[in-house]
Structure 1
């Protein structure tokens, strides 16, 4: 990872620090919300599941329209407005927590939070190529991936400490402050969107127009690189989901020891952080690297199951984390390189929908089959399918002679 990007590009510096701080607050907030729901529902699995659904469902349903919003209006302003609305949500949550409100009101808050995320995610990614040169995109995406992984490790630990010794309200206040800091840094970014008209306005009535979705799908169909990228990554998420979602079940059945799953999660986090640090040094074309990552990840998933519960599984899981991070960074970079700015938002939105909507289905199918043939076997099948997914697209890559001249694009 080249730190000079933070010193030579002021816009990215403000964006990076602003998002790093607000994402840190988010990691605390998500822990606090989960804890509070379990607290007021008397550890009800059903009520907890409903809370998670109320947050994830709008992310799936509105992600495409959230991306379209970014194509029609100033992305910087959208991100700032989302931060402002997030502050308001935090204040409402503080009040609801103090008065011990009904869980139904929290479901409504979760749904609104999910809608904001549906707008934020595609614009978060599509904003990066508007402030970073093409040759620096891999490095920039590595920085942003590092933010997520570090917060994934630190956030829950600090949140648990704060909940125990200071209470939930402290976390909500900290989260509010992080959004204020993020807004102040975002305001410093000099951003002149090239795809808005002279008045900086577009037709708001067309945001929820299905013709916008059709336009995005038509663009993807006509762009061989983006089409193959979306197919390989969506299929990868679908077939790998049973492996990652059922891992905790495998560990519990084998050990009845939460420490093992904690160490495994830490191993994955270490790998993800390493991957974000080294990704920019790998001098292989983005598409080829993504395909090779699929093949290697499938092999490692198979080896993991065959070696489980040997101590070597910790090292294997670190390697899986490295590959996941490298693949994610290169997927982001390839989308940004080969998507026109005027449709970047809706393409990112369709991407989010194509991956997130398949995960619940995959979890359900995986769980159903696991009950009949065993968790270990469905996880082994999951790894095999990831491996085959990589092989199929590698064969397609060669047979179609897709020459992705990234050096020309990035220079």
Structure 2
């Protein structure tokens, strides 16, 4: 199953972006704490990181079910990569913390769309016999990243600082896009196919 090229590309893209997300979440929290010396501001950064999961979770599922999942993931990754570069610039220019928190909220919103699309994309790439193993493999690897990632992020933050972690995450999103582009996939609009097999305007 792991030899399937489409699954391999999706898996690599998912792991790269997941690792970058862990690094960034850590970097944002500690950067805000170091800049403000306020646990309230640091806590707010965490809240804004998780809030989109509550607000947009249902919408993300509807979007993933009705649109081209590959294109959704690629576009979200490109936007996230750009926002990571903006975060790096904001650190270099020492911009206001609210500006950083707004970007954090936007990126977390894009992340929930990406994550939902990836999970609903998998059944379209893998045959049913291998789907359970593919899901288990991806979930297990993501869990490992979430466990190991914060420790590695802390080490890198101490060595390099927040701006380079933001740069790393930005690059990781663009690299993930390359692997997503290599997935061979043809989108079929099920809604249009359902309501007519004639002309689609």
Normalised by the size of structure 2, how large is the TM-score? Answer: 0.89
Following superposition, the deviation at residue 109 of structure 1 comes to 0.9
User: Across the two proteins, how many residue pairs are aligned to each other?
Assistant: 193
Match of 2:197 in 1: none
Match of 2:196 in 1: none
- Secondary structure at the aligned position of 1:6 is classed as coil
Match of 1:88 in 2: 82
Deviation string, structure 1 residues 219-261 (Cα, Å, up to 9, x no partner) = xxxxxxxxxxxxxxxxxxxxxxxxxxxxxxxxxxxxxxxxxxx
CA RMSD for the aligned pairs?
Answer: 1.7
Structure 2: tracts of 5 or more residues without a match: 194-201
Tell me, in whole angstroms, the C-alpha distance in 1 between the residues paired with 2:36 and 2:190. Answer: 47
Matches for 1:50-199 after TM superposition, within 5 Å? 50-196=44-190
Structure 1: tracts of 5 or more residues without a match: 200-411
Deviation string, structure 1 residues 326-364 (Cα, Å, up to 9, x no partner) = xxxxxxxxxxxxxxxxxxxxxxxxxxxxxxxxxxxxxxx
Following superposition, the deviation at residue 144 of structure 1 comes to 0.8
Structure 1 segments, 4+ long, off by >3 Å, are 194-199
Tell me, in whole angstroms, the C-alpha distance in 2 between the residues paired with 1:13 and 1:57. Answer: 31
Following superposition, the deviation at residue 101 of structure 1 comes to 1.4
Matches for 1:357-376 after TM superposition, within 5 Å? none
Following superposition, the deviation at residue 56 of structure 1 comes to 1.9
Structure of higher CA gyration radius: 1
Q: Is the 8 A contact 1:73 1:196 kept in 2?
A: no
Match of 2:13 in 1: 18
Following superposition, the deviation at residue 196 of structure 1 comes to 4.1
Deviation string, structure 1 residues 288-325 (Cα, Å, up to 9, x no partner) = xxxxxxxxxxxxxxxxxxxxxxxxxxxxxxxxxxxxxx
Tell me, in whole angstroms, the C-alpha distance in 1 between the residues paired with 2:126 and 2:22. Answer: 26
Following superposition, the deviation at residue 163 of structure 1 comes to 1.4
Normalised by the size of structure 1, how large is the TM-score? Answer: 0.45
Match of 1:394 in 2: none
Deviation string, structure 1 residues 4-61 (Cα, Å, up to 9, x no partner) = x111x1110111111111111111111111111111120x222222222222222211
Instruction: Say which structure, 1 or 2, has more relative contact order (CA 8 Å, 6+ apart).
Output: 2
